[in-house]
Amino acid sequence: MKIICVGRNYAAHAKELNNSVEEEPVIFLKPDTALLNNNQDFYLPDFSNDIHYETEVVVKINKAGKHIDEKFAHRYYDSISLGIDFTARDLQSMLKAKGLPWERAKAFDGSAVIGSFLPLADIGMISDLSFSMNLNGQQVQSANTSEMVFSVDKVIAFVSRFITLKTGDLIYTGTPQGVGKVNVGDNLVGFLGDKELFNFKVK
Ligand code: ZN
């Protein structure tokens, strides 16, 4: 499986990092070795002093597709979760300044936290899902998928023009504003609506 991530998909977050909102989705990939599931501890890597959390709604692809039309995109997923796109912000800033790819800052081991999945049918419409994340008991991110610049279906249509989607692939749909640094001992708890989907510690 592969992990496809969307960057700058919430205007307020693009603004907080002084990025422009693009006319097409910004996408990047993480390898399967980035996955961190079952509320395992996240270990801060030694190559960064500024690891940021990015809380994101995650869609699991349930059948293979290429050149998927936006109006049929909803047929390609039926379960949803919440994850963290951990980002080595210091490394990413250095790579961006040099015009280099982001992989070292985005694709490292444990950088794709994934919560438990819920059937979409049980939680509502993909275009109207509230989600939030509490850091040490304080809510630091809160948004609704209606605020996305590019909807899930638009992202699927766009990505599948370039990359064949396969069963089990995950799409991280971008983070809203409120990203920030994690430190040893932190506890991150993610909610989709009022359902807790992940709860893990930083070591
Ligand atoms: Zn992200």
Residues 159 and 38: their CA atoms lie apart, in Å, by: 28
**pLDDT tens digits, 6-39:** 999 998 877 787 887 778 999 999 999 999 999 9
What's the predicted TM-score (pTM) here?
0.96
**Where does 3-201 sit in CATH, by number?**
3.90.850.10
What pLDDT is recorded for position 92?
96
* Helix-, strand-, coil-residue percentages of the chain, each rounded to 5: 25, 35, 40
**Alpha carbon of 172 to ligand 1 centroid (Å):** 7
Identify whether the C-beta of residue 8 lies closer than 8 Å to the C-beta of residue 18: no
What is the per-residue pLDDT for 66?
A: 98
| Distance from residue 63's CA to the centre of ligand 1 (Å) | 24
pLDDT tens figures, 113-137:
999 999 999 999 999 999 999 999 9
Domain ranges of the chain: 3-201
CA 83 to ligand 1 centroid distance, Å: 10
Distance, CA 179 to ligand 1 centroid (Å)? Answer: 9
